[in-house]
Chains A and B, each alone.
Chain A
Amino acid sequence: MTDDPVLFCLHFLGGSARTWRRLAEHLGPAARCVALDLPGFGDEAGQPGGGVAAMADHVASRIRAEAPRGPWLIAGNSMGAKVALALARRHEDGDPDLAGLAGLVLLAGSPPAPEPMDEARRQAMIAWIDADPETRRREAEAFVAANVAAPLNPEDHARTVEDVLRANPAAWKAWLTGGACEDWRGRVGTLATPALVVSGAEDGDLGPEAQAALTLPHLARHRHAVAIGAGHLLPLERPRALAGLIRDFVAAPPETAEAPTLPPAFAALMGSERVNTRLRRALRERMREPEGPFCLSPGARATLSACLDRVLPQAGPGRIDLARRIDARLASGTGDGWRYAALPPDAEAYARALHTLDAAARAAHGRPFAALPGAEQDALLGRATSGDLPAVPDGLAPALMTCWFEELRGEAVRTWLAHPAGLAAIGFTGIGAGGDDADALPGYRLTGLNEGEDWESPVRHVPMTAGDAR
Chain B
Amino acid sequence: MNLAGQSRHSPDEVVDAVVVGTGAGGAPLLAALAAAGLKVVALEAGPNFDPAGYGFDETLADEIYWTEERLSGGSTPEAFGANNSGTGIGGSTLHWGAFVPRADPRDFRLNTESGEGCDWPIDHAELVPFYDRVEAFIGTSGPTPYPWDEARRFPLPPVLRNGPAQLMAAACDRLGITATDAPAAVVSRDFTPEASVPGRKACIHCGFCHQGCRTRAKASMDVTYLPLAVARGAEIRAESRMHGVERDKAGRITGVIYRSGGRDIRQRCANLILCAGAVETPRLLLHLDLATGSGQVGRNYIGHVATQVWGTFPDAVAMNRGYPSSLITEDYTRPKGADFAGGYLVQSLGVEPLTWGNAVARGRGLWGRPLTDYLRQYNRVAGIGINGETLPCDANVLTLSDETDALGMRKARISFGYGSNEDNLNAHATRLMRAIWEAAGASDIWVLERVAHTLGTCRMGRNPDSSVVDPVGRSHEVGNLWICDGSVFPSSLAANPALTIMALSLRTAGAFLRWR
Contact = CB atoms under 8 A, between A and B. Distances in A.
A341 B401 contact: yes
Interface string B313-324: 011111011100
Contacts of B315: 449-450
A278 interface: yes
B80 interface: yes
B67 A413 contact: no
A339 interface: yes
A312 B203 CA distance: 36
Contacts of B401: 341
A337 B207 CA distance: 23
Contacts of A66: none
Contact of A279 (B57, B79, B318, B367): B57
Interface string A369-385: 00000000010010001
B89 to A, nearest CB: 17
A79 B322 CA distance: 59
A278 B73 contact: no
B367 A282 contact: no
A444 B204 contact: yes
A15 B436 CA distance: 78
Interface in A325-366: 334-342, 345
Contacts of B479: none
B204 A443 contact: yes
A427 B378 CA distance: 8
Contact of B215 (A431, A441, A463): A441
Interface in B203-252: 203-208, 214-215
Given A278-B53, A409-B362, A447 B321 contact: yes
A470 interface: yes
Interface string A435-461: 000110111111111111000100011
Interface in A408-441: 409-410, 412-414, 416-418, 423, 425-431, 433-434, 438-439, 441
A466 interface: yes
Given A342-B73, A433-B204, A449-B163, A336 B82 contact: yes
B207 to A, nearest CB: 6
Most chain B CB within 10 A, of A279, A336, A338, A426, is at A338
A283 B372 CA distance: 21
Interface string B179-211: 000000000000000000000010111111000
Given A313-B372, A413-B360, A341 B77 contact: yes
B390 interface: no
A119 interface: no
Contacts of A418: 58-59, 354
Given A438-B52, A463-B376, A428 B444 contact: no
B377 interface: yes
Nearest to B413: A341
Contacts of A445: 205
Nearest to A423: B353
Nearest to A282: B60
B365 interface: yes
Contacts of B161: 447-448
Contact of B73 (A341, A413, A448): A341
A65 interface: no
B69 A338 contact: yes
A467 interface: yes
A438 B354 contact: no
A382 to B, nearest CB: 9
Contact of B357 (A286, A334, A417, A433): A417
B321 A444 contact: yes
B380 interface: yes
B70 interface: yes
B361 A412 contact: yes
B312 A338 contact: no
Nearest to B207: A430
Interface string B49-65: 00111011111101001
Contacts of A381: 367
Contact of A468 (B80, B160, B365, B444): B444
A124 interface: no
B214 A469 contact: no
A278 B55 contact: yes
Contacts of B353: 417, 423, 426, 428, 430
B463 interface: no
Nearest to A468: B444
Contacts of B201: 439
Given A413-B357, A448-B162, A449-B167, A434 B56 contact: yes
Contacts of B361: 406, 409-410, 412-413
B163 to A, nearest CB: 5
A311 to B, nearest CB: 5
Contact of B77 (A315, A340, A446, A450): A340
Contacts of A461: 379
A284 interface: no
A120 interface: no
Contact of B70 (A315, A338, A433): A338
Indicate the size class of the contact surface on chain A.
35 or more
A336 B80 CA distance: 8
B371 interface: yes
A467 to B, nearest CB: 6
Given A410-B362, A444-B205, A469-B370, A337 B68 contact: yes
Contact of A338 (B81, B214, B367, B370): B81
A445 B83 CA distance: 28
A375 to B, nearest CB: 11
B368 interface: yes
Nearest to B202: A443
B443 interface: yes
Nearest to B314: A466
A442 B77 CA distance: 39
B254 interface: no
A462 B204 contact: no
B369 interface: yes
Contacts of B322: 444, 447
Interface string A313-331: 1110000000000000000
A281 B478 CA distance: 50
Contacts of B443: 466, 468
A168 interface: no
B15 to A, nearest CB: 31
B57 A282 contact: yes
Contacts of B72: 338-341
Contacts of A426: 353, 375-376, 378-379
B287 to A, nearest CB: 18
Given A313-B368, A447-B162, A428 B321 contact: no
A103 to B, nearest CB: 35
Given A434-B214, A463-B376, A469-B366, A414 B56 contact: no
Nearest to A275: B56
A310 interface: yes
A469 B444 contact: yes
A303 interface: no
B211 to A, nearest CB: 10
A190 interface: no
B354 A414 contact: yes
24 contacts: A312-B367, A336-B67, A339-B71, A340-B77, A341-B73, A409-B362, A409-B366, A409-B371, A418-B59, A418-B354, A425-B376, A426-B376, A430-B208, A430-B320, A431-B56, A438-B214, A443-B215, A444-B321, A450-B315, A450-B316, A462-B380, A463-B376, A466-B380, A467-B444
Name the 6 nearest CB pairs between A and B, nearest first.
A337-B81, A443-B204, A447-B322, A438-B52, A341-B73, A469-B374
Interface of B: 51-53, 55-60, 62, 65-73, 77-83, 85, 160-163, 166-167, 201, 203-208, 214-215, 312, 314-318, 320-322, 352-354, 357-358, 360-362, 364-380, 401, 403, 413, 415, 443-444
Given A462-B318, A462-B379, A467-B377, 6 more contacts: A279-B55, A310-B368, A315-B372, A430-B208, A445-B205, A469-B370
